[in-house]
Amino acid sequence: MPSTMKGPAIFLAQFAGDAAPFNSLKSITSWAGGLGYKGVQIPTPDARLFDLQKAATSKTYCDEIKGICADAGVEITELSTHLQGQLVAVHPAYDAQFDGFAPDAVRGNAKARQQWAGEQMKLAAKASQNLGLTACVSFTGALAFPYLYPWPQRPAGLIEEAFAELGKRWTPILDAYDEAGVDLCFELHPGEDAFDGATFEMFLDAVGGHKRCNINYDPSHFLLQQLDYLAFIDIYHERIKAFHVKDAEFNPDGRQGVYSGYQGWLGRAGRFRSLGDGQVDFTGIFSRLAQYGYDSWAVLEWECCLKHPEDGAAEGAPFIESHIIRVTDKAFDDFAGGTSDPATLRKMMGIE
């Protein structure tokens, strides 16, 4: 039977805060459910909403978490480990900035921070299993990204060495996800070594084509790179196991283009927008995903330099709802069809 995408759902990371209703899982899920969302994606580093260590070791706790969500009329779509995944591989140029993602005990110690991140990723695999989830979303981290533009000329073997090291670090983590029966879906994002199709293929090769190495599809990052995000689905649909619904716009002018001239988000040629306010062809995306049988969640990731987040969230649920295609189980021209058998078919073609 044909499968229909699930949703709408919302990623809670950009909305969590210290004030109600955003400061506890119970209140934020009630808020999301009240807006019409049917699912929530939970950021695992946010202790206000979730205890990753406890979820990895206690099914009772996981049942409590699922119960809180069910009472609000939502279910958990995936756990997010973006920040921990980022710390699996950090180029020294970014040490100071990314230390803020880690606990105090490992800050200033790159090796300890990497070990902590790997352990966190494995905890998320077990927690996802305990919650009955089939996917988790993350980042690859980066060792080569500072060398993105080949000037000065990159030394031969630099990129190959970076991806080989990524493969070494991620393969045992992916094995843990395989053991848990969970797909690890990487968001292809500038700042990560896997940021487009070509680099995802390099990463996939580095982990030996691991079956648990998959994609969290987010077209906003592709639009800002001027990549054909519809053709991307044609190429990689078998690996797309999660979907961030996020809008963006690209307005180059005589002063800036893709790199956006070091400007802040408001002044950039490429910037993220609330759903429906940007240039992403969501009709085409939802159609293409339906064509290939994508049946997991459509999750709003809200980021916008102009609109208030609560307005973006309120508009997001009906926007996604209106784009989800209920896949048909019959052809539109079935009414004109007739019965057939081999003899009839041969007769129609004049075959004796």
pLDDT, tens digit, for every residue of 36-80? 999 999 999 999 999 999 999 999 999 999 999 999 999 999 999
Cis peptide before 309 (omega within 30 of 0): no
Alpha-carbon distance 302 to 299, whole Å? 9
Task: Indicate whether 224 belongs to any domain.
Answer: yes
What are the tens digits of pLDDT across the range 271-309? Answer: 999 999 999 999 999 999 999 999 999 999 999 999 999
More confident residue, 3 or 204: 204
Give the tens place of pLDDT for each residue, 179-230: 999 999 999 999 999 999 999 999 999 999 999 999 999 999 999 999 999 9
**pLDDT bucket at 334, cuts 50 / 70 / 90:** confident
Calculate mean pLDDT across residues 12-18. 97
Give CA–CA dist 283/319, Å, rounded.
11
Residues of the chain with pLDDT > 70: what percent?
99
The answer to whether residue 1 is domain-embedded is no
Give the pLDDT mean for 13-28.
98
- What predicted TM-score, i.e. pTM, was given to this entire model? 0.95
pLDDT at 1 over 80: no
Res. 136 pLDDT band, cuts 50 70 90: very high
Q: Does the bond joining 252 to the residue before it have cis omega, within 30 degrees of 0?
A: no
**Strands (DSSP E) found in 231-300:** 240-245, 247-250, 270-273, 297-300
C-alpha 218/C-alpha 224 separation (Å) is 11
Distance (Å) of CA 127 to CA 69, 106, 147, 180, 341: 16, 23, 35, 9, 53
Do 212 and 185 form a contact (C-beta atoms < 8 A)?
A: no
pLDDT, position 3: 82
Whether the upstream peptide bond of residue 152 has omega within 30° of 0, thus cis, is: yes
Q: Is residue 81 part of a domain?
A: yes
Tell me the residue range of the domain where 288 lies: 6-348
- pLDDT value at residue 142: 98
Residue 162 located in a structural domain:
yes
The tens digit of pLDDT for each residue in 39-50 reads: 999 999 999 999
Whether residue 216 lies inside any domain: the answer is yes
Report which DSSP code applies to 3: -
* Angle at alpha carbon of residue 214, lines to 209 and 220, rounded to 5°: 135
User: How many separate domains does the chain show?
Assistant: 1
CATH number at residue 165: 3.20.20.150
DSSP classification of residue 48: T
Q: What is the mean pLDDT of residues 254-271?
A: 97
